[in-house]
Structure 1
Amino acid sequence: MDDKIILAEESLKRNGFQVKIFNNSEEAKKSLLESITTDESVAFGGSMTLSQLEIYDDFKNRGNEIYWHWKGEDRKKELAEAYKSKVYITSTNALTLDGKLVNMDGVANRVSSMFYGHERVYIIVGKNKISKDYDDARERIKNIAAPKNAKRLNINTPCKFTGKCNDCDSPDRICNVEVIIHRNPTGANINIYLIDEDLGY
């Protein structure tokens, strides 16, 4: 097990989060499916980590009511219904060794759902997203996650072409909202799954 996963786990627990660590994504998938019952509604936040886990079809095939704007035919409807779900699953852009979650979003549906409005939240994190501190987290978001997402979405931002943040004024800008979750918010039930694999951007 990577040492930084152990350090992050300790810090996250001190900050009030529920934390589990896994050797691989299959173990994490098994735990998710065991922790969420078939009668619970589940929404997914935009995440390459979840796409790589291929967890959406597992919930769909066993009969859960599920919402993901990446998959549904009506994107606006999927986003609206996602807010009403009992369970929310997503990833984070970066996680610091002192137990903070750092995120940038274009629309803010993902980041707002990470801490408000759902009975339980599961945040799935590969070891590649564990950052030394806030500055390191910002650096990975600006120069790794954002450019890769801009290319994936084929949008017209400078980072799509340069591979690094230019703090642009593009109408397609995807770094509009920054959220730092320092501790588990009052009344929230945030479960963080740390996986000893590289996952997502």
Structure 2
Amino acid sequence: MTVHQWHRDTIGQKAVQALIKNQFDAVYFPSKEEAGEYILKFISPGAQVGFGGSMTLTEGMGLVEKTKAKGAELLVHGDPQLSAEEKLEVMRQQQICDVFLTSTNAVTLDGCLVNIDGNGNRVAAMTFGPKKVVVVAGVNKICKDIEAAFGRLQSIAAPKNNKRLNLENPCTITGSCANCQNASRICRIYSVLKKKPSLTDITVVIIGEELGY
């Protein structure tokens, strides 16, 4: 085992234990392949499966394709073939789907999930609605505490997502949040889950690799 893998395993497992203490179901896997096999166990043929616009799940793990192969009905609002009205309807359907797969912008070492959203559909579905929520994150998203997590949102998650979406906001030039007032601003809803939401079945999967933003 390399020193890098030792460190990833150590902080990943520490975050999992903190999440469990905060009443989340949480598991750790060293690799995305192992984690992917575990996540797919929640998917059954015919199930409606929503995807929360996560680069971790799409680029990092290929879960959209694997979920489709299992015969599930996919709810992917980021499909470029959808009209604005169709996209909105998919986002509404995600709120009551069978399984909602998403990532989180940050996980703290004291077991909190910290997120930032533009429309709020992702954090809404993560909090209440779907029968099952699976939150997936690489160890690169683990932060010391909530303050550090918000720093990560401003310096990493928000600028990278703005750049990915080709938005003309200041952070795509400076690389960090400027608390802009632009109409195209996507940093509008901030969410901190300090404990598992009472009526939501959530499993948090931490992976010992760097994935997503």
Q: Name the TM tier (shorter chain).
A: over 0.9
Q: 1:77 Cα deviation (Å)?
A: 2.8
Query: In structure 2, how many angstroms separate the alpha carbons of the residues matched to 1:30 and 1:99?
Result: 24
Normalising by structure 1, report the TM-score.
Answer: 0.96
Q: Which moved more, 1:123-132 or 1:68-77?
A: 68-77
SS at match of 2:100: strand
Q: 1:37 Cα deviation (Å)?
A: 1.6
Could you tell me whether the CA contact under 8 Å between 1:121 and 1:190 is conserved in 2? Answer: yes
Q: Given the superposition, is the C-alpha separation of residues 14 and 136 from structure 1 closer, same or farther in structure 2, using an over 3 Å criterion? A: same
Structure 1 partner of 2:47: 40
Structure 1 partner of 2:66: 58
Q: Structure 1: which 5+ residue stretches go unaligned?
A: none
Alignment size in residue pairs: 201
Could you tell me whether the CA contact under 8 Å between 2:95 and 2:128 is conserved in 1? Answer: no
Could you tell me whether the CA contact under 8 Å between 1:131 and 1:137 is conserved in 2? Answer: yes
Encode CA deviations 1:117-171: one digit per residue, 9 max, x unaligned. 0111000010000001111101110010100111100001100110011111011
Q: Structure 2: which 5+ residue stretches go unaligned?
A: 1-5
Structure 2 partner of 1:157: 169
Query: In structure 1, how many angstroms separate the alpha carbons of the residues matched to 2:202 and 2:80?
Result: 25
Could you tell me whether the CA contact under 8 Å between 1:49 and 1:124 is conserved in 2? Answer: yes
Question: Which residue type is aligned with residue 93 of structure 1?
Answer: N
Q: Given the superposition, is the C-alpha separation of residues 178 and 58 from structure 1 closer, same or farther in structure 2, using an over 3 Å criterion? A: same
Query: In structure 1, how many angstroms separate the alpha carbons of the residues matched to 2:50 and 2:57?
Result: 11
Among 10, 13, 22, the residue aligned to 1:6: 13
Q: Which moved more, 1:33-42 or 1:124-133?
A: 33-42
Could you tell me whether the CA contact under 8 Å between 2:43 and 2:67 is conserved in 1? Answer: no
SS at match of 1:35: coil
Q: 1:185 Cα deviation (Å)?
A: 1.2
Normalising by structure 2, report the TM-score.
Answer: 0.91
2:180 equivalent to 1:168: yes
Among 109, 123, 131, the residue aligned to 1:119: 131
Query: In structure 1, how many angstroms separate the alpha carbons of the residues matched to 2:204 and 2:171?
Result: 29
Query: In structure 1, how many angstroms separate the alpha carbons of the residues matched to 2:70 and 2:129?
Result: 24
2:118 equivalent to 1:106: yes
2:92 equivalent to 1:92: no
Q: Which moved more, 1:118-127 or 1:68-77?
A: 68-77
Query: In structure 2, how many angstroms separate the alpha carbons of the residues matched to 1:105 and 1:35?
Result: 25
Structure 2 partner of 1:183: 195
Could you tell me whether the CA contact under 8 Å between 1:128 and 1:199 is conserved in 2? Answer: yes
Q: 1:72 Cα deviation (Å)?
A: 6.0
Could you tell me whether the CA contact under 8 Å between 1:22 and 1:28 is conserved in 2? Answer: yes
Superposition RMSD in Å? 1.1
Could you tell me whether the CA contact under 8 Å between 1:72 and 1:78 is conserved in 2? Answer: no
Q: Which moved more, 1:190-199 or 1:79-88?
A: 79-88
Could you tell me whether the CA contact under 8 Å between 1:19 and 1:193 is conserved in 2? Answer: yes
